[in-house]
Structure 1
Amino acid sequence: MIQEFRLPDLGEGLADAEIVQWLVAPGDTVTLNQTFAEVETAKAVVELPSPYDGTVTTLHAEAGETVDVGAPLIEFDVAGDEPATGPGDNAAAKEPVEDAAEEKTPPNLVGYGAAPSSKARPARRARRGAAASVAADTAVLEAAPHDALPETAAAAAVGERPRSTPPVRAHAKRRGVDIALVAAEVGDRVITRDDIDAYAERVGGHVEVQAAPAAQPTLFTGSTERETRIPIRGVRKHTAAAMVQSAFTAPHVTTFHTVDVTATMDLIASLKADRSLSEHRIGPLVVVAKAACLALSRTPGLNSRWDEEAGDIVQPHYVDLGIAAATERGLIVPNIRDADRMTLPQLADALGALTQTARSGKTSPADLAGGTFSITNIGVFGIDAGTPILPPGQSGILAVGAVRRMPWEYRGEIALRQVMTLSLSFDHRIVDGAEGARFVKDVADILEEPGRAMLLG
């Protein structure tokens, strides 16, 4: 029978999602929990698993189209009279089944945990006359070293659409790597940037890096068009709406403080030289994050949210630290859960994992929700200070400027020191100027003398 699958709410109350790519086509056979499409919400790229075993009959949208939550997305020809149901399924509810042994395995939809079954690619229906060729190519793949494979054999063996995200495919294109050949090596799992880089390095340097062309104003390109129109959607659309909401809801105040971080930079250098810590990438941002978590214990207003509906100020007894990340999809702010309970090496590892996931486009909507305080590292762009806008629902965000070597007063003399500017924006409904200043001063004191951290927390 034909079963229609409608776009579900992906766990964040979002109204719609854009089809990034279909991983199946009409006529393909799929099994329960196999990924059939990638969609981009206002926050993240999400894989949609099939809720059925069956054959794809209809796709209701093209790649690039935006589909409303609850709208028809795909149809399957499913054997049997009734579909399997489970959390998040949008099919009609069934009556309880008396014999539990006869119940089908429930589908594992977005937001309800990892798929228990393999994420192997859906089997494509072979074109007429092509079955023997594909079988032969697969036999070659199993028998010969990968370097000896013809490109068509690798592509046929791993399927026509290797498992990867749009940013990773773009990265592979820039590096001149055929992603189908990488897929033959990694198997069923999703291809990452690291896989692309490792393949490019392994082939011995004959893969040339293709630099992306710099964006130029239309005026200088020789084009007859006088303007370029870019659709407002995805992360950019969400970020714009969130920033407008924040700017016109919470009264922003920003305070600045420049601090001598020479001692912190010396500490980081000593930690990098410690072989026992060589696996942990401890840099200035990690130390600032740790200092911020310690300082928040003295200024809980900066780790609070304004609940307009309930008429309350809510103060969490934990720090879910948001880290602003610039990605190919736009600016996102994923969170490090319980960052205040982490040691410096643990915080460094969490930050590294967060960054890698964000760059690969795999940050989930859940990881982008619920932050209590945020940090944005504008220093990576060579910027000293700014006025960051609060993420909605948070009362504080700290901008970390670039570390610069410059003349500075030190012990009554002028010396070359390493300095950094901290910029703190806060919600003046919750935080007054004194509390904001105290927080910045606490962070600065730790960065000036890292040993002071022993006195806090």
Structure 2
Amino acid sequence: MPVVREFTLPDLGEGLTGAEIIRWLVEVGEVVAVDQPVVEVETAKASVEVPCPYGGVVTARFGAVGEEVPVGAPLVTVAVAASEGDDDAGGSGNVLVGYGTAGHSAAPRRRRVRPVQTRPAAVPAPQPTAQPAPRPARSGPLPVISPLVRRTARELGVDLATVSGSGPDGLILRADVTRAAAAVVSRETSAAAPEPAVAWDDDVVPLRGLRRTVAEKLSRSRREIPDATCWVDADATGLLALKDQLAARAAAPRIGLLPLLARICTAALARHPDLNASVVTEPDGTPTGIRRHRAVHLGFAAQTERGLMVPVVRDAQLLTTEQLAAEMARLTEAARTGSLTPAELTGGTFTLNNYGVFGVDGSTPIINHPEAAMLGVGRIAAKPWVHDGELAVRQVTQLSFTFDHRVCDGGTAGGFLRFVADCVENPGELLRYL
């Protein structure tokens, strides 16, 4: 007889405790192979497709699109052959690199309380995937299994006892809570609005996944870091000429402007190692020391459809300019396709932000916590400039440098920025330090 195995959301690592369901990749009744991806989820770090270590027929799915699922909560149940469903057969164990599966982890799995369901002994026939009709609210324990649902109800002022759940066995989902809150607002607005007034409802976009993480980091950075910014205009005509010269070599990999700026950053940090640092703090934010990093893990801003991401080039100081270009191109493509791993989005020690691609001249960015500094590069535009004692039209950019004033003073920051500007104006100067 087939045995029904439950596959739960695996440990995601990086301190992550849950993920949001983006889309289901399988239907109830569908036959899946071992290690076949069954759902795509978005964590606070990246979006990933989660493969199931069991092969068989999908008998149930848990969680709707947009719902946040905690680690250890069930994702799907799969009916497998009896020989594969024995206790000593724990699946392939290959859910994700670094992610544990049931039967392969020594740590106990965390489960959320949910109504007891009678599992069929045999493989059920495929069922329609339409959502069941909402059930009326019941007395006794509320069928709510997600802490997120309870928190959402508290924030929206919704009494869960009045909510009809649309999930299995009357399970109350987050969508049920938000619909109930919207219905209350709509009734109150309609009652208060005089005829023929029109009630306009504002859209509230929840901060979830990556956007929520970015918001939290920026808020913490603004609270904790006493930042300051200095800037300087630089003649980038020579740097553009170098880029064009390297591009003319058709056989070689393309080296754009960003890798050249990254190379300048690593050279500048070698001369000013105090800036490749982070402040050590107590849990209450009290600073206790400055950690100087030996390696330069260079983050760079990449705009994607999911928002701003900052992939990190590991050990950037050890790479050639050509290798920097290749790695930055790889990470940029991964950011755009949503396939960056958590490790590729964390651990940076310095950030390069080329906001000039948006057509702006300057900016005072917020430091990427817990780093101590960030270099910003504005657009490169033709401007009048005194060159070799004569007025000429040159390609000019504005460089800004935002730094943690606890790590260094204005003299160190100014020296760093001046070195960067000199290298932008005379790229050959880099040969002195490479």
- Fold in common (TM above 0.5): yes
1:48 corresponding residue in structure 2: 50
Contact 1:32 1:107 in 2 (8 A): no
Tell me the CA shift for residue 431 of structure 1. Answer: 2.4
Aligned residue among 417, 424, 430 for 1:447: 424
Tell me the CA shift for residue 414 of structure 1. Answer: 1.3
1:376 corresponding residue in structure 2: 353
Contact 2:10 2:99 in 1 (8 A): no
Tell me the CA shift for residue 83 of structure 1. Answer: 5.9
Query: Does 1:421 pair with 2:405?
Result: no
TM-aligned CA distance change 1:296 to 1:343, over 3 Å: same
Letter in 2 for 1:334: P
2:81 corresponding residue in structure 1: 79
* Aligned ranges 1:383-394 → 2 under 5 Å: 383-394=360-371
2:139 corresponding residue in structure 1: none
- Which is worse superposed, 75-84 or 415-424? 75-84
Tell me the CA shift for residue 228 of structure 1. Answer: 2.4
DSSP-derived class of the 2:332 partner: helix
Letter in 1 for 2:411: A
C-alpha distance in 2 between matches for 1:406 and 1:224: 51
Output one character per residue of 1:202-236: Cα deviation in whole Å (capped at 9) or x when no partner.
xxxxxxxxxxxxxxxxxxxxx97353222221222
Letter in 1 for 2:427: P
* Aligned ranges 1:48-447 → 2 under 5 Å: 48-80=50-82, 106-112=92-98, 225=200, 227-277=202-252, 279-280=253-254, 282-309=255-282, 311-447=288-424
The two structures, once aligned, show a CA RMSD in angstroms of 2.6
C-alpha distance in 1 between matches for 2:317 and 2:77: 47
Tell me the CA shift for residue 306 of structure 1. Answer: 1.9
DSSP-derived class of the 1:387 partner: coil
C-alpha distance in 2 between matches for 1:54 and 1:432: 63
DSSP-derived class of the 2:251 partner: helix
Contact 2:54 2:91 in 1 (8 A): no
C-alpha distance in 1 between matches for 2:90 and 2:258: 49
1:141 corresponding residue in structure 2: none
Give unpaired runs (5+ residues) of structure 2.
102-123, 128-197
Contact 2:28 2:126 in 1 (8 A): no
C-alpha distance in 1 between matches for 2:244 and 2:100: 40
DSSP-derived class of the 1:326 partner: strand
DSSP-derived class of the 1:37 partner: strand
Tell me the CA shift for residue 300 of structure 1. Answer: 1.3
Largest Rg, 1 or 2: 2
Tell me the CA shift for residue 366 of structure 1. Answer: 1.4
C-alpha distance in 1 between matches for 2:68 and 2:91: 30
Contact 2:4 2:85 in 1 (8 A): no
TM-aligned CA distance change 1:316 to 1:80, over 3 Å: farther
DSSP-derived class of the 1:424 partner: strand
Tell me the CA shift for residue 387 of structure 1. Answer: 0.9
TM-aligned CA distance change 1:228 to 1:331, over 3 Å: same
Tell me the CA shift for residue 260 of structure 1. Answer: 0.9
Letter in 2 for 1:45: S
Contact 1:52 1:107 in 2 (8 A): no
Letter in 1 for 2:313: I
Tell me the CA shift for residue 407 of structure 1. Answer: 0.5
DSSP-derived class of the 1:409 partner: strand
Contact 1:399 1:424 in 2 (8 A): yes
DSSP-derived class of the 1:292 partner: helix
C-alpha distance in 1 between matches for 2:411 and 2:268: 14
Contact 2:303 2:309 in 1 (8 A): yes
Contact 2:221 2:368 in 1 (8 A): yes
Output one character per residue of 1:299-345: Cα deviation in whole Å (capped at 9) or x when no partner.
11221122224944222222111111111111111111122122222
Contact 1:246 1:391 in 2 (8 A): yes
C-alpha distance in 2 between matches for 1:456 and 1:295: 9
Contact 1:42 1:238 in 2 (8 A): yes
TM-aligned CA distance change 1:105 to 1:40, over 3 Å: closer
Letter in 1 for 2:80: V
C-alpha distance in 1 between matches for 2:261 and 2:206: 37
1:456 corresponding residue in structure 2: 433
Contact 2:235 2:395 in 1 (8 A): yes
Contact 1:11 1:366 in 2 (8 A): no
TM-score scaled by structure 2?
Answer: 0.72
Tell me the CA shift for residue 393 of structure 1. Answer: 1.7
1:9 corresponding residue in structure 2: 11
Output one character per residue of 1:263-312: Cα deviation in whole Å (capped at 9) or x when no partner.
111111111122333x31x2222211110011100111221122224944
DSSP-derived class of the 1:255 partner: strand
Letter in 1 for 2:52: S
C-alpha distance in 2 between matches for 1:244 and 1:9: 27
Output one character per residue of 1:59-115: Cα deviation in whole Å (capped at 9) or x when no partner.
11011211122322222223347769xxxxxxxxx8xx8xxxxx7774112232899
Contact 1:295 1:456 in 2 (8 A): no
C-alpha distance in 2 between matches for 1:258 and 1:114: 51
Contact 1:10 1:111 in 2 (8 A): no
